[in-house]
Amino acid sequence: MSAWLWIVALLAGSLAVGWLGRFAAQKATGNKPVYRDMPLAVAFGYALGVALLALAVWYYFQPTVQETGVANAGVMFFRWAVHGFFGFAVAAWLFRLLGRSLGTAASRKLFRQMPLTAAFGILVIIIYAVTAIFAGLLAPHGQAEVFAQANIVPGGNPALGGNPDFPLGTDQIGRDILSRLIYGAQNTVGIAFATTLIAFFLGGSLGFLAATLRGWMDQLLSRAVDVLMAIPSLIFSLLLITVASAWVSGFGLTVAMVLIIAVIDSTRVFRLARAVGMNIVVMDYIEAAKLRGEGLPYLIFKEILPNATAPLLAEFGLRFCFVFLTISALSFLGLGIQPPLADWGTMVKDLSAFINYAGFAPLAASVPLLAAGAIALLTVAVNFVVDWMLQRSSGLKE
Amino acid sequence: MHPVLKIILQRLALGLVTLFVVSIVIFTAVNMLPGDFAQAILGQGATPEAVDAIRRDLGLDQPPVTRYLQWLSGALQGDLGNSFAQANFASFVGADSGVRTTVAQQIAPRFENTMFLAGVTAAIAVPFAVTLGILAALYRNSVFDKAANIGTLTSISSPEFFVAYILILFLAVLNPMLPSLSNIYEGMPFSERLEKTLLPALTLTLVVTAHMMRMTRAAILNLMASPYIEMARLKGVKPIRVIVRHALPNALAPIINVVALNLAYLITGVVVVEVVFVYPGIGQLFVDSVKIRDIPVVQACCLIFAAAYILLNLTADILSIVSNPRLRHPK
pLDDT digits (tens, 9 = 90+) for A68-116: 666 677 788 888 889 999 999 999 999 998 888 887 888 888 888 888 8
**Cβ of residue B26 closer than 8 Å to a chain A Cβ:** yes
Q: For residues B162 and B275, state if they share a domain.
A: yes
- Do B39 and B77 lie in one domain? The reply is yes
**Distance from the Cα of residue B187 to its chain's centroid:** 24
The pTM for the full model equals 0.86
CATH number of the domain within which B244 lies: 1.10.3720.10
Q: Which of residues 251-310 of B touch A (CB under 8 A)?
A: 264, 267-268, 271-272, 275-276, 286-287, 290-291, 293, 295, 298-299, 301-302, 305-306, 309-310
Q: Are residues B143 and B269 in the same domain?
A: yes
Indicate if B88 and B136 belong to the same structural domain.
no
In a domain, B149, yes or no: yes
Looking at the structure of chain B, the number of domains it has is 2
Determine the distance in angstroms separating the CA of B279 from the nearest CA of chain A, rounded to an integer: 14
pLDDT confidence of residue B90: 45
Same domain, yes or no, for B329 and B276? Answer: no
3-class secondary-structure state, position B108: helix
Instruction: Give the tens place of pLDDT for each residue, A200-246.
Output: 999 998 999 898 888 888 889 988 888 888 888 888 888 888 888 87
Q: Which of A253, A245, A236, A248 is nearest to A337 (CA)?
A: A253
Is residue B106 in some structural domain? no
Set of chain B residues whose Cβ sits within 8 Å of the Cβ of A372: 159, 161-162, 165
Alpha-carbon gap, residue A174 to A195, rounded angstroms: 31
Residue B180 in domain: yes
Same domain, B128 and B255: yes
Look at residue A196 and tell me whether its pLDDT is greater than 90: yes
* Residue A302 reports pLDDT greater than 80: yes
Judgement on whether residues B272 and B167 belong to the same structural domain of the protein: yes
Choice between B72 and A19, residue whose per-residue pLDDT is larger: A19
The verdict on B176 and B315 lying in the same domain is no
Q: Are residues B25 and B126 in the same domain?
A: no
Cis peptide, bond prior to residue A340, ω within 30 of zero: yes
Please check whether residues B93 and B187 belong to one and the same domain: no
Determine what percent of chain A is predicted with pLDDT higher than 90.
21
A-chain CB neighbours of B140 within 8 Å are 398
Do B61 and B186 fall within a single domain? no
Q: Are B306 and A227 an interchain contact pair (Cβ–Cβ within 8 Å)?
A: no
A228, closest residue in chain B (CA to CA): B22
**pLDDT tens-digit series, residues B72-109:** 887 777 777 767 665 554 445 444 445 556 778 888 88
Q: Which domain holds residue B244?
A: 111-291
The domain ranges of chain A are 3-60, 177-394
A241-272 tens-digit pLDDT:
888 887 777 788 889 899 999 999 999 999 99
DSSP 8-state symbol, B330: -
Give the homologous superfamily in CATH for domain A177-394: MetI-like (1.10.3720.10)
3-state per-residue secondary structure call for chain A: CHHHHHHHHHHHHHHHHHHHHHHHHHHHCCCCHHHHCCCHHHHHHHHHHHHHHHHHHHHHCCCCECCCCCECHHHHHHHHHHHHHHHHHHHHHHHHHHHHHCCCHHHHHHHHCCCHHHHHHHHHHHHHHHHHHCHHHHCCCCCCCECCCCCCCCCCCHHHCCCCCCCCCECCCCEEHHHHHHHHHHHHHHHHHHHHHHHHHHHHHHHHHHHHHCHHHHHHHHHHHHHHHCCCHHHHHHHHHHHHHCCCCCHHHHHHHHHHHHHHHHHHHHHHHHHHHHHHHCCHHHHHHHHHCCCHHHHHHHHHHHHCHHHHHHHHHHHHHHHHHHHHHHHHCCCCCCCCCCCHHHHHHHHHHHHHHCCCCHHHHHHHHHHHHHHHHHHHHHHHHHHHHHHHHHCCCC
Model ipTM value: 0.85
Residue B310 lies in a domain: yes
Q: What is the mean pLDDT of residues B118-130?
A: 90
